[in-house]
């Protein structure tokens, strides 16, 4: 988990997916009616912590910092430390994301991105801050040696990982996070396999970002109030990231994976994570221009990284389409993505977003236009004239431009704002 998107991972929280672990036949008891003696718990935790450090250095052939410490926290201590109220900026970012996600039919009108932070934190197994790892007394089981040590190896991976630059957009952030979390998930699985457990957990010990509350409310499937589409976005770095990392390791052991942490070799798009061949050939996002409204009264609201425009990328498009269309159609359509640019505006009580997406070919652009239109029909949005849809006080239009191999999506609470001829 990233406490911030700049420089390096600071805090890594790990939660357990109760339902999936139950299906896998793995017993994780997260609530104890009779907690173990604290002194014995600390001794056992410290014992496997020392072993995990040795195992990590041996597997990865690296040296960890000598000052890494292990501490024990209760759920309440974790909540007291990290369950702080959101700032005004956090709340503004949540409102912005909700408008965008609802405007794109990613979530329904009744859904909220304001998750219960305390509940989320209370299900962590472990969290790392700087060079210190905290295990949560009620959740982390040091006597389940294989899985407990695998969890610590996951955390040690984050402590070892080199610094990453601050991302400027959503898509790059997801790509960086896929590298970071995919690496840690792969390492924990790799440890299990080396020690006789051939059942991969699929990277299901998720890490979370305290700074990503605006995009990532509770990530675990145990939170049934979180829409499946948001869960799909949030688990991407762990599931697809681990697959990406596995491809690198299988291709050249640890060398190509370690090289990913150098600036010239960092993955920059979710398309590279989904299609490692694009990463190997250096295929990046094409520069894409977002047209500006002629009405100067619209004020740009920066993305959470502080930039005026954003890029959402292939995986985001896949999730949008996949909420309404079959998986094959959503995947094949999104694969044609080549680049995109997204700008969000507000004026008084109204909002407007402009999303221009570039495709690999005219056919790809046409296919997306058709798929998105089909999706709009499934949402039962009301057709308002030519190529305009209306629902929940929002108006949306989509325009395909075969000359530029692009599609332009406009959405606003102001019906006069979505005419493409009003943009330059």
Q: What is the mean pLDDT of the chain?
A: 84
At 334-357, the pLDDT tens digits run 999 999 999 999 999 999 999 999
Are the C-beta atoms of residues 45 and 152 closer than 8 Å to each other? no
Work out the average pLDDT over 55-70. Answer: 94
Question: Which residues 6+ apart lie within 8 Å of 269 measured at CB?
Answer: 171, 172, 175, 278, 284, 285, 313, 314
Instruction: State the Cα–Cα distance between residues 358 and 205, nearest whole angstrom.
Output: 35
pLDDT confidence of residue 36: 66
Choice between 92 and 306, residue whose per-residue pLDDT is larger: 306
Work out the average pLDDT over 301-322. Answer: 96
If we measure between CA atoms, which residue out of 287, 371, 358, 271 comes closest to residue 321? Answer: 371
DSSP 263: G
Work out the average pLDDT over 10-21. Answer: 33
pLDDT confidence of residue 387: 87
pLDDT confidence of residue 84: 66
Task: Please give the model's pTM, rounded to 2 decimal places.
Answer: 0.85
pLDDT confidence of residue 415: 94
Q: In 104-227, which residue ranges form alpha helices assigned H by DSSP?
A: 117-121, 145-160, 170-194
- pLDDT tier, 208 (very low <50, low <70, confident <90, very high otherwise): very low
pLDDT confidence of residue 85: 60
- 118: burial class by Cβ within 10 Å (0-12, 13-18, 19+)? middle
pLDDT at 3 over 60: no
Work out the average pLDDT over 82-89. Answer: 71
Tokens of 19: 């339902």
At 235-268, the pLDDT tens digits run 999 999 999 999 999 988 899 999 999 999 999 9
DSSP 422: G
Q: Which of 10-24, 37-51, 76-90, 283-297 has the lowest mean pLDDT?
A: 10-24
């Amino acid at each position: 988990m990233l406490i911030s998107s700049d420089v390096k991972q600071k805090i890594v929280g790990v939660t357990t997916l109760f339902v999936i672990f139950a299906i896998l036949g793995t017993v994780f008891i997260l609530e104890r009616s009779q907690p173990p003696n604290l002194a014995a718990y600390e001794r056992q935790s410290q014992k496997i912590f020392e072993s995990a450090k040795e195992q990590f250095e041996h597997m990865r052939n690296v040296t960890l910092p000598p000052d890494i410490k292990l501490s024990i926290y209760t759920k309440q201590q974790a909540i007291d430390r990290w369950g702080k109220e959101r700032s005004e900026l956090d709340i503004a970012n949540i409102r912005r994301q909700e408008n965008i996600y609802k405007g794109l039919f990613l979530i329904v009108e009744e859904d909220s991105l304001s998750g219960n932070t305390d509940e989320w934190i209370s299900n962590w197994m472990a969290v790392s801050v700087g060079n210190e790892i905290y295990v949560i007394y009620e959740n982390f089981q040091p006597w389940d040696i294989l899985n407990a040590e695998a969890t610590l190896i996951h955390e040690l991976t984050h402590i070892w990982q080199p610094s990453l630059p601050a991302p400027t957009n959503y898509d790059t952030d997801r790509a960086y996070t896929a590298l970071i979390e995919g690496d840690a998930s792969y390492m924990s699985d790799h440890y299990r396999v080396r020690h006789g457990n051939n059942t991969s957990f699929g990277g299901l010990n998720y890490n979370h970002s305290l700074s990503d509350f605006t995009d990532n409310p509770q990530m675990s499937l145990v939170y049934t109030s979180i829409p499946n589409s948001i869960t799909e976005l949030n688990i991407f770095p762990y599931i697809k990231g681990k697959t990406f990392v596995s491809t690198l390791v299988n291709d050249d052991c640890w060398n190509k994976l370690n090289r990913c942490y150098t600036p010239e070799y960092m993955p920059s798009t979710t398309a590279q994570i989904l299609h490692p061949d694009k990463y190997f050939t250096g295929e990046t996002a094409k520069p894409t221009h977002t047209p500006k409204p002629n009405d100067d009264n619209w004020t740009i609201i920066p993305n959470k990284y502080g930039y005026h425009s954003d890029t959402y990328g292939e995986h985001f498009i896949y999730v949008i389409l996949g909420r309404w269309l079959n998986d094959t159609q959503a995947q094949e359509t999104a694969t044609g993505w080549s680049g995109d640019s997204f700008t969000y505006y507000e004026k008084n009580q109204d909002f407007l977003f402009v999303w221009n997406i570039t495709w690999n070919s005219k056919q790809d652009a046409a296919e997306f236009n058709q798929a998105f239109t089909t999706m709009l029909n499934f949402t039962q949005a009301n057709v308002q004239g030519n190529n305009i849809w209306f629902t929940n006080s929002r108006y949306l239009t989509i325009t395909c431009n075969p000359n530029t191999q692009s599609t332009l999506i406009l959405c606003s609470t102001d019906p006069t704002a979505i005419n493409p001829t009003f943009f330059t």
